[in-house]
Amino acid sequence: MAIEQNTKVNLLGMGLPALEHFFVEELGEKKFRATQILKWIHQRGVDNFDDMTDISKVLRAKLHERAEILAPEVTYRKYSKDGTRKWVMKLPGGSAVETVYIPEDDRGTLCVSSQIGCALDCSFCSTGKQGFNRDLSSAEIIGQVWVAAKSFDEPDKKRERRITNVVMMGMGEPLLNFDNVVEAMGLMMDDNAYGLSKRRVTLSTSGVVPAIYELAKVTDVALALSLHAPNDELRNTLVPLNRKYNIKMVLDACNHYMSRFSEKRVTTIEYTLMNGINDKPEHAHELADLLRETPCKINLIPFNPFPNSGYERPSNNRIHRFRDILLAANYNVTIRKTRGEDIDAACGQLVGQVTDKTRRSERFIEAVQLGQTAAELASARFERSSQT
Ligand code: SAH
Ligand code: SF4
């Protein structure tokens, strides 16, 4: 108890219910204070209680004593010629995560990280190669949105809404940090915070099947599945998690997720194209057959190279040939434009800095050598976290 009194609560990552609980139960204040604070923090980017002018001095003093608004520390920022922005945020323990903003004609998308590193070790992903350090807290996740939104503040101008979409496609597997990701996504969609619509907040997963079913119970954000292969044999080699949750199980889970909606909602199928690996015409035909029963749109991502990856980006001819086969089979297909390459901010180039202090990645490799697959480790983690 004594420890609790010395520890300040970080209000940044708290959704409305948690904040209301804090104000009512911890401070003995009225519930509406929670909404007031949410607006100050997320709509106006304020992190000092003294700037909250409609809050009494007495309450501000109380807040100073018991709480704080602590965003991750930005150690590096780079704004590219094409409008792309990238931030590296330092986290306690010496690790860092990356966040990227990508403007397009009709939208501005923020790519947010959910973990420091990733334990799932997909063969083509630079984050996976970094090992795993830890989950981000909900404050560290929403803190990335907070920092990005604040970067668009201009003096004497009303805050412009430059971030229209958030994709959980930075570092980490969001479904293995379930509670914190759900809390942060709640803030992204809360009208008192960022007010994004549920269709504009996308969770991307490599396919943690039980967590997709859990997600269906608690949120209605958009869902993207990182498929990358049209059959289990090939997907096993690219996404080790597939050995535990195969393609059929994953597609069934996505279909279940979408089946709850009365309006038409579809899963985004992400497919990273790697030269000679999964980009042949027969793969495209097989993919077209595979997805017949899955309401979806397909997003082709040309592989983004990083040192010693062992993979190459296919030529534009190959990419277009792959797309055309899917188009001819009546799929809605897009090719992801690669943006921000001049600042290493493209998808799959987000490496951050993963201090593997806990030797987790070594232990992970040992475990795999002992016969445990990445999938087993991942599902053990998920089952553990969903029990708490
Ligand atoms: N862990 C989640 C979200 C983060 S990865 C997931 O796997 O879905 C975001 C997307 O970038 C995924 O579709 C992932 O497969 C893709 N990706 C990873 N490395 C890449 C690379 N080098 N080139 C292109 N896409 C990559
Ligand atoms: Fe993790 Fe996603 Fe990278 Fe796979 S692609 S290693 S799940 S971040």
Q: How far is the CA of 169 from the centre of ligand 1 (A)?
A: 7
Active-site residue, 347 included? yes
Kind of pairing between the strands at 107-111 and 9-10: unpaired
Q: What is the pLDDT of residues 206-254, one digit of tens each?
A: 999 999 999 999 999 999 999 999 999 999 999 999 999 999 999 999 9
Q: Residue range 82-101: average pLDDT?
A: 89
The most confident of the ranges 53-67, 84-98, 154-168, 349-363 is 53-67
Q: How far is CA 333 from the centre of its chain?
A: 22
Among 385, 80, 29, 21, CA closest to 211:
385
User: Residue 342 — pLDDT band, cuts 50, 70, 90?
Assistant: low
CA 96/CA 123 separation, integer angstroms: 22
Q: How far is the CA of 339 from the centre of ligand 1 (A)?
A: 15
Tokens read off for 39: 């607006």
Q: How far is the CA of 83 from the centre of ligand 1 (A)?
A: 22
* Domains of the chain (ranges, CATH numbers): 9-68 (1.10.150.530), 73-387 (3.20.20.70)
State if residue 205 touches ligand 1 by the CB under 6 angstroms criterion.
Answer: yes
**pLDDT exceeds 90 at position 299:** yes
Q: Give the pTM.
A: 0.89
Which ligand places an atom closest to the C-alpha of 121? 2
State if residue 382 touches ligand 1 by the CB under 6 angstroms criterion.
Answer: no
Residue 124 CB partners (closer than 8 Å, separation 6+): 228, 238, 272, 274, 303, 309, 311, 348
Burial 79-95, CB ≥16 within 10 A → b, else e: ebeeebbbbbbbbeeeb
Q: How far is the CA of 128 from the centre of ligand 2 (A)?
A: 6
State if residue 207 touches ligand 2 by the CB under 6 angstroms criterion.
Answer: no
Which H or E element spans position 184? helix 178-189
What are the angstrom distances between the C-alpha of 188 and each of 123, 192, 219, 342? 31, 9, 12, 28
Residue with tokens 């608004």: 69
User: Residue 338 — pLDDT band, cuts 50, 70, 90?
Assistant: low
**pLDDT exceeds 60 at position 366:** no
Given the residues 25, 73, 98, 104, the one annotated as active site? 98
Given the residues 286, 312, 347, 366, the one annotated as active site? 347
